Every structure is written in C-alpha cells, then in structure tokens.
Amino acid sequence: MAFLPFTWVRGLTSLLSPLRLLAAHGWLRESDVDAGLALLHPALRLNRVFAQVTQRHWVADDMLELTLRANGNWRSAQPGQHLQLFLERDGMRLSRSYSLTAVQAGGRLQVAIKHQAGGRVSPYLLEHLAVGDVLELGHAYGELSWPAAPQGVLLLAAGSGITPLLGMLRAALAQGFSAPITLLHYVREQGQRGFAAELQALQAQHSNLQVRWSLTAAGAEPEGLAGRFTGEHLAEVTQLDQRRVLACGPAGFVAQVQQWWQAAKLPGALQTEAFTPPAFSRDISVRQVRLGFTRSHQQALANNQRSLLEHAEEQGLKPAYGCRQGICASCTCTLVSGTVRDLHSGALFSEPGQPIRLCVSAAHSDVEIDL
C-alpha cells in the first residue's frame, strides 16, 4: 500500500538530504528512516535503490523483458552490464543478476530475464512479478563494451548471451553506428530466439545490420544456419579479419569461439563473457578438506569440487554475492591460508592475503578464509 504516487518518489529524493546527513553522522538509524519512508511508498528510501515495474514484455517463449523506473538514488549504468535484482521470498532475501537491455534518462531501464527451470528467482519473476511491484536494485557490473570499430563488428551469442549484446546493439544503432554489424544467435529451438521480432525490425531499418539464427536442436530454417558454432558459419561475413568480435553465452560456447579465434589468427580484438556457473571437474579426484571461516569462528569439512560460496552458505553464513559466475566480484573475500583452485581455469592460488571470489573458488587443501 502506497500513500504517494511513484512520480513523487523520484522528486522527493533530493529533499531527503538533511535526513541523509543525520544518518551519516549517526544521529538517525538509516533502517528506521527507511521503514518510515517505505510507509509512504515502498520505493522511497534514504540511499538504497528501489524500482517499480512499469511494463512486462515477453521477447521469447522463455524470456521476459522488464521495464523498471528507479527511485532517485539510481546512478546510471551501461547497456550490456548486469544488474542485481533483490527480492524477499518466504522470509529469505534472494538476488540474481540480469543483463541491462536499455538504460534511459529519468531512471528508466530494462532487464531481460530468462526462465531457469528449477530456479528460485527467475520463475517467480516471470510468473508472479506484476506491473506496480517494487524491487531493490544492486550495483551494475560488467566489462563488455561496444568497440569503436570503423571496420565493423561481429556479435556471437548463445542462449541468454543475446541480452547484453542486444543492449549494446540498441544503443550503438541509436547513436548512428554505421559500420557493418553481423549478429549470429544460437538457440535450441525457434521459440527461444530472444528479441527476434525486434532484431528483424532493426535489420529492415538498418542496412548495415545482418542477423542470423542457428537452431542447435532442430533443422535449419530457410536462410538460417544449423547446429552449434563453427567457423563455417562465418563464411558470409565480409571483412571478417577486420571485425571486432564480442561473444557471450555459456562457457562451452565461449570456449568454442575462443578456439576458432586462436586458430583463425585474426588481427582484431575479441571480447568474451561466459554465463555458466563453474562445473564439476572430472579431472580432479574428489576429497574432503577442512575449511575455516576466521571471522565467524566456524570450521567445516568441505568437498574440493564445490565452491566456497556453497560451503559457506551451508554453514549458515551469508556472504554477499551477485552473479555466482565469477563476473561481478561481489563475493570477493581474503584468503588467509591454504590453496584454492579457480573452478573455471583450474589455476591454484595460495598467497595469504589474496582476494578470491568465493563462487568460483574451491578448496584445494585445508583452507582458511576471512569470512
């Protein structure tokens, strides 16, 4: 229940400065002030960023684009970055990160959410989150950037890897990017071609844009490709050796692109981002090691294959996290002693005082971390 319309929430932000000052000096508790402000509108907070859902739009059978309007505490981000969304469910605070597909003035932004079967967050957001509901937003992160490339750009996406690339593509075209752009999107089935209608419309509108889809679990469509990524799919890409390449998708897809890139010895630049959480390694035998959480004075037996984040949560600890895929650095902690293994690269780290990302690190020996 809100006593103020949302349009007032953004305007009131600057009027809260005196309260912010008092809270910053310890004269008021921020949580108390926030509780009072939330009675006026659930998105009205002293410093935290909350946003109201203003639109829901299905962009594929399993993907929804949410349009949000953030309160006045929102500071900008770049399309293609990832944004943490928080929600409370059954008394638990959950968070997941989704790609920003648009960032506009006045706190207007869009994120794309793909359905994850069995997930705790995306099914709820897709099925139950309604226009008018309010969510807390975390920080935006992500390193992909649109290249200044007069010779052209090649975008390679698999599955939900389309979402950050689409965010950057929309912005680049809106700013008049006129060099050739080729986008190949790999999906299992036709209904998973996220943003297909919009991409077709953009292709009709911009002669420098070419979009192709490849179905990996079905036959080729007319004028389409078939199967997983291979260098042969790039046969029609003009001036391939001069394109800047951005690839985004599951780790296996990104690894295929990297292999092709290295073999092709192209002179341009390759940017990649992999979405998949770290996988169980069959090359390393499973054994138990001892974990110590120094600040919380807890000890646990750990499996050397599972992430330190999972083990910490099993112990009832609540380390911060965002992407759970090694991208956002929200879960970074300090290694006190022992050796940890990077679950993506297999690299070992054992220098005390070293920052490690809990979500993509497993204990390689007995380990103590500052948590």
Cα–Cα distance for residue pair 247/159, rounded to 1 Å: 11
Does 331 contact ligand FES by CB under 6 A?
yes
User: Using CB under 6 A, which of 129, 225, 247, 359 touches ligand FES?
Assistant: 359
Question: What are the φ and ψ backbone dihedral angles of 118, each rounded to 5 degrees?
Answer: 80, 0
Does 343 contact ligand FES by CB under 6 A?
no
User: Using CB under 6 A, which of 322, 340, 367, 369 touches ligand FES?
Assistant: 322
**Closer CB to ligand FES, residue 181 or residue 254?**
254
Does 330 contact ligand FES by CB under 6 A?
yes
Number of residues that bind ligand FES (CB under 6 A): 12
**Closer CB to ligand FES, residue 71 or residue 84?**
84
User: Using CB under 6 A, which of 37, 70, 144, 328 touches ligand FES?
Assistant: 328
338: Cβ contacts below 8 Å, ≥ 6 apart? 289, 350, 363, 364, 365, 366, 367, 368
Cα–Cα distance for residue pair 259/361, rounded to 1 Å: 24
Least distance to ligand FES from the beta carbon of 338, Å?
A: 19
Cα–Cα distance for residue pair 321/167, rounded to 1 Å: 24
User: Using CB under 6 A, which of 217, 329, 347, 348 touches ligand FES?
Assistant: 329
Which of these ranges, 44-52, 102-110, 211-219, 326-334, lies near ligand FES under the rule CB under 6 A? 326-334
Binding mask 278-317 for ligand FES (x = CB under 6 A): ----------------------------------------
User: Using CB under 6 A, which of 158, 321, 363, 368 touches ligand FES?
Assistant: 321
Does 324 contact ligand FES by CB under 6 A?
yes
User: Using CB under 6 A, which of 327, 340, 356, 369 touches ligand FES?
Assistant: 327
**Closer CB to ligand FES, residue 260 or residue 321?**
321
Cα–Cα distance for residue pair 5/332, rounded to 1 Å: 39
Does 357 contact ligand FES by CB under 6 A?
yes
On whether the CB atoms of residues 43 and 71 are closer than 8 A, the answer is: yes
Residue ranges in contact with ligand FES by CB under 6 A: 321-324, 326-331, 357, 359
